[in-house]
Structure 1
Amino acid sequence: MGSEQYQLITLPNGLRVVHQRVKGTQLVHAGFTIQAGSKNDGQNPGLAHCLEHMLFKGTTHRKTIHVLNHLEVVGGELNAYTTKELTTIYGTTQSKHLSRLTDILCDVVFRSTFPEAELEKEKKVIVDEINMYLDTPEENIFDEFQERIFDGHPLAHNILGTEESVSLISQSNLKNFVNTHYRFENMVFAVVGNVSIERVLQALQRFLPLAQELNFPGVILANSTFTPLPTFQEVKKTDFNQAYAILGGLAYEIDHPDRWKLLLVNNFFGGPVLNSRLNLAIREKYGYTYNVESGYSAFAETGLFHCFVGSEPKYIERSVELIFKELKKLRTQTLGTLQLSRAKNQYAGQLILSNENRSGLMMHLGQSVLRKGKANSIEHAIESIRKVTINDVLQVANELMAEENFSRLYYVPQD
């Protein structure tokens, strides 16, 4: 979560800079978050992700090896990731190297050249990454489930693309994507660490390109309206030895007023905690599975709540039955006051722990300011959790978690 201690400044060129000073650390975390992800790929699935890779393959100032070495030689890290709606390019180093960090971030974001030879090599790397995910059923089934749930919408396709779509990406595709989306008004620069805002602004003034140096902007498409599709149930034969199932349905979009209620419900129902309802009811009670969980993904237009389980084939249907049994309890049985209090304390504690991750805090600030112009404090988040009532839990469960509203996808072995 962010904090009310952050400073937000909009530069004359339109770039928003969000900064939070954290004393007692020798590190600084900084990065650009751009409002462009796989949802913006258009006719080139995997384009945003391919671009993320290619940002490290040479600039007008540096060859690939110099990009890769720039922070590494002082013990720092440079990295990036792509989601369906955002791309973040970030780094971490000692505070005394803030200028070095800002230099390389500005260089790769604004001055990458996307050499043809490097592009052809990197396509092979991405295809290998795609194949790695295809060999990972937990990832594969979730991606395929989203493709079915969001079919016909830009959210549907896999962030990585396919081997075929990646092979068709050209240098001109990359440059056009940058010209369209990598613009000052479409990004935020976030910094968290023991550095002053004055040092941050001085570094940006030194390394940012002038506004007129950026290419003529293209047109950024608005969010697409999402139309819900009928539910589905499918069983797919696979080469995996285990069986897997994912079931779920549409949920709240990222700025929905009831989002915090669902986040709390998801956390105690099947979140990353050993005492979640699903873990206790299926793994601990019966030993049917090593991994059973629920999750909530929120996007600008819609959201997705899902439950996942992997087990021996003979246990998969029984495990799914038990998941629906727990969902029914959530819809029909009132949560006790003590149970709700414990769930709130647990989730609040998790958020406080995550807030100590300064790199994560930097990303949160950048993404929040980009999306809604501000970042909520950790106190605001905890207050939102504390306000959730017993009736709120029932309302969310009955609105979103009825069995008839869930689609199902199974992976089962061939034999």
Structure 2
Amino acid sequence: MNEDIYTLPNQIRVIRRHCDAGVSCCGFAIAAGSRDEEEKEQGLAHFTEHLLFKGTQKRKAFHVLNRLNAVGGELNASTGKEDTFVYGLFLKNDYERALELLTDMLFHSTFPQKEVEKERDVVLDEINSYEDSPSELIFDDFERSMFEDHPFGRNILGVPESLQTFKSQDFRAFARRCYTTDRLVFFSLSPLEDKKIDALIQKYLGQIPDSSAASVLKQRSSPLPVRAFKKQITRNTHQTHVLYGNRACSMYDEKRYALFLLNNLLGGPGMNSRLNSLLREHAGLVYTVESGLSFYTDTGLCSIYFGSDPKNTDRCLSLIDKELKRLREQPLSSAKLHFAKKQLFGQLSIAYENKESRALNMGKNLLYYNKCEPLSDFLTKIEAVDAMQLCEVASEVFNPSELSLLVYS
């Protein structure tokens, strides 16, 4: 069963898929995030997302929150560097209730000043909670150095100095500028009949005025090249927290398939990842070690994180360097490559069964690729990766002269 994709006259793109489960998921993927903020607007994208829940032209904040919760549904949202998601999970018979609410939130939010004042403290507290979590904060500090003087280097939550200045009109202006119809994707995964969903989409989205402003996306500037750095920040933590990494390819680069497989092999979620096996299971030096990827439209980031007793930090880094050297210089045997792919296939197939994750992935695929790549096609491209491609990607991303290091001590 494939997804149906079409575009409304107002340029809102639609992707829907029928499923047999009793739960539906629908919402909006928006091509707007912290990258689209001006210097003085740091944190505005994330703050705007919060305020979508705080009142519309016909609803107060309580009524927004209660509309789906009252029937057992869930309402959620998230903000990233380049996108924002607003969506709901609910039972089949509540589809119209959910779609009407989401449309009201996205197109008719009023951003009342009294709610701005209350939510400002919530966001500031969210920032403070990160300050109390060095294992999370280090990622923001690493990106700040990796993308210096570029919006990618800013914390999505913003900074107190800018958050304190925002007024109701700032949120309305940001929504007008960035929540334009050509930057919107409506996604739907539901057991409801397709013709009923299409009728509801036409009823609630078909009448939205065309606010296309494609030129806004063209104003995005790409980050400048970065010079490898080594930094140490004193934070008086019990553990030493370490982040080690480099820029990587963009989400449109064909090398992303090899890098995706390489990352999973190196420090993915499996307890048998090379780094976990080496640093935790074999040497007993860490509790947490992982590698991660962030793909953006014109760049990417690959990083390795671990936390250890300060006396073990240098040894951990030495072991990681040896493992990265092995990946650069020693092609995997056919058996090891086969098992690495098999593990990834299993992880992706299990994740695909999660309805919320699948619906969000549908929206993201259409938002960035203007199509929805079936899982089978993605797996076929992973299957096509050979051992030498993994070495080539490892040599590029884990080039010793280009790796940057940030240490919290």
Aligned to 1:294: 291
State how far apart, in whole Å, the 2-side matches of 1:270 and 1:331 are. 15
Instruction: Provide the secondary structure at the position in 2 that maps to 1:101.
Output: helix
Instruction: Name 1:208's counterpart in structure 2.
Output: 205
Out of 131, 135, 152, which is 2:149 matched to? 152
Match of 1:85 among 73, 82, 86: 82
What amino acid sits opposite 1:411 in the alignment?
Y
For the residues of structure 1 that align with 2:109 and 2:3, how far apart are their CA atoms?
30
Secondary structure of 1:238's counterpart equals coil
Deviations 1:103-149 (A, max 9, x none): 11001000000000000100000000001111111110011100100
For residues 330 and 156 of structure 1, what CA distance do their matches in structure 2 show? 29
Of the structure 1 ranges 311-320 and 44-53, higher mean CA displacement relative to structure 2 is found in 311-320
Quick one: distance in 2 between partners of 1:215 and 1:398? 45
Q: Write the distance in 1 (CA, Å) between the matches of 2:8 and 2:164.
A: 39
Normalising by structure 1, we get a TM-score of 0.96
* Structure 1 partner of 2:408: 411
Kindly tell me: are residues 87 and 334 of structure 1, through their superposed partners in 2, closer, same or farther at Cα, counting changes over 3 Å? same
Contact 1:56 1:68 in 2 (8 A): yes
The reply to whether residue 379 of structure 1 matches residue 376 of structure 2 is: yes
Equivalences, count: 407
Shift of 1:294: 0.8
Equivalent in the alignment of 1:357: 354
* C-alpha contact 2:188 2:359 (8 A) present in aligned 1: yes
Alpha-carbon spacing, 1:398–1:117, altered in 2? closer, same or farther (3 Å): same
Mapped partners of 1:209, 1:369: distance in 2: 19
What SS does the corresponding residue of 2:379 show, helix, strand or coil? helix
Deviation at 1:402, TM superposition (A): 1.6
Aligned partner of residue 220 in structure 1, secondary structure = helix
Match of 1:106 among 95, 103, 106: 103
Instruction: Give TM-score scaled by structure 2 length.
Output: 0.97
Give the unaligned 5+ runs of structure 1.
none
User: 1:196 offset after TM fit, Å?
Assistant: 2.2
Contact kept in structure 1, 2:251 and 2:295, CA below 8 Å: yes
The aligned counterpart of 2:27 is: 31
Structure 2: state its 5+ residue gaps: none
CA–CA distance in 1 between the matches of 2:108 and 2:205? 10
Matched letter for residue 13 of structure 2:
R
Post-superposition offset of 1:215? 7.0
Q: Deviations over 1:28-55 (max 9, x none)?
A: 0001000000101112111100001000
| Paired residue type of 2:25 | H
Q: Distance in 2 between matches of 1:249 and 1:11?
A: 40
Contact 1:46 1:162 in 2 (8 A): yes
Percentage of identical aligned residues: 37
Q: Which residue of 2 aligns with 1:124?
A: 121
Whole-angstrom CA distance in 1 between matches of 2:59 and 2:285: 53
In the TM superposition, residue 207 of structure 1 has moved relative to its aligned partner by 2.5
| Conservation of the 8 A alpha-carbon contact between 2:285 and 2:312 | yes
Q: Distance in 2 between matches of 1:159 and 1:353?
A: 30
Partner of 1:322: 319
Structure 1 segment 133-172 matched on structure 2, within 5 A: 133-172=130-169
Match of residue 398 from structure 1: 395
For the residues of structure 2 that align with 1:320 and 1:172, how far apart are their CA atoms? 49
- For 1:203 and 1:63, the matched residues in 2 are separated by 24
1:10 aligns to 2:7 (yes or no): yes
Letter in 2 for 1:38: S
Whole-angstrom CA distance in 1 between matches of 2:240 and 2:342: 35
Instruction: State the match for 1:73 in structure 2.
Output: 70
Query: Are 1:220 and 2:216 an aligned pair?
Result: yes
For the residue of structure 2 that corresponds to 1:272, the secondary structure is coil
Is contact 1:254-1:300 (8 Å) kept?
A: yes
C-alpha contact 2:365 2:371 (8 A) present in aligned 1: yes
- Distance in 1, matches of 2:211 and 2:164, equals 26
Please show how residues 334-353 of structure 1 align to structure 2 within 5 Å: 334-353=331-350
Amino acid at match of 1:94: L
- Which residue is equivalent to 2:55? 58
Secondary structure of the corresponding residue to residue 395 of structure 2: helix
Q: How many angstroms apart in 2 are the aligned matches of 1:75 and 1:128?
A: 28
